[in-house]
Amino acid sequence: MDKQIQKKELKPDYKRIYNDLIDRKYPEKRGEFKSLLEKDALSVLDVIKLNQKIFGKASHVILNQRHRSYDKKAVLQILDYQKKNKLNNNQVALEFKMSRNTIAKWKKIFL
């Protein structure tokens, strides 16, 4: 009895979520997000940008920070952003609202 188990990556459909959110609550802002929402799939960094543009910078960000997760592609984009803009770990951590130790750990793992 050979059963093949398929691993399917279950991710939320952020594109659909944000389309519905903008249509229902912020229809006047649709033009601002057109370029991001026309992509086939949204990356983690795109979701962060959308969230900041829609809700702004609020005090509840610190509480929600614990629940963020980054895939390998997003981590490499962040590290590439750091290299391209010649930033240190502290500056990147402030930019993306995360721990500088996380950036250092990613550099050890991926670079």
HEC per residue, 29-66? HCCCCHHHHCCCCCCHHHHHHHHHHHHCCCCCHHHHHH
Residue 59: per-residue pLDDT: 47
Residue 1: per-residue pLDDT: 46
Please provide the size of the chain in residues.
111
Residue 14's H or E segment, with its range, is helix 14-25
Q: Which two tokens stand for residue 33?
A: 């997000």
Residue 102: per-residue pLDDT: 93
Q: Give the model confidence (pLDDT) of 58-98 as tens digits.
A: 545 555 666 678 889 999 999 999 999 999 999 999 888 88
Higher per-residue pLDDT: 104 or 67? 104
Q: Give the model confidence (pLDDT) of 24-48 as tens digits.
A: 998 888 888 888 888 888 888 888 8
Boundaries of every domain in the chain: 12-68, 70-110
**How many Cα neighbours within 13 Å face the side chain of 97?**
17
How far is it, in rounded angstroms, from Cα 55 to Cα 29? 12
The answer, as to whether pTM is greater than 0.75, is no
Q: Which residues contact 103 (CB under 8 A, 6 or more apart)?
A: 78, 79, 82, 89, 92, 93
**Positive or negative, the Cα torsion across 77, 78, 81, 86?**
negative
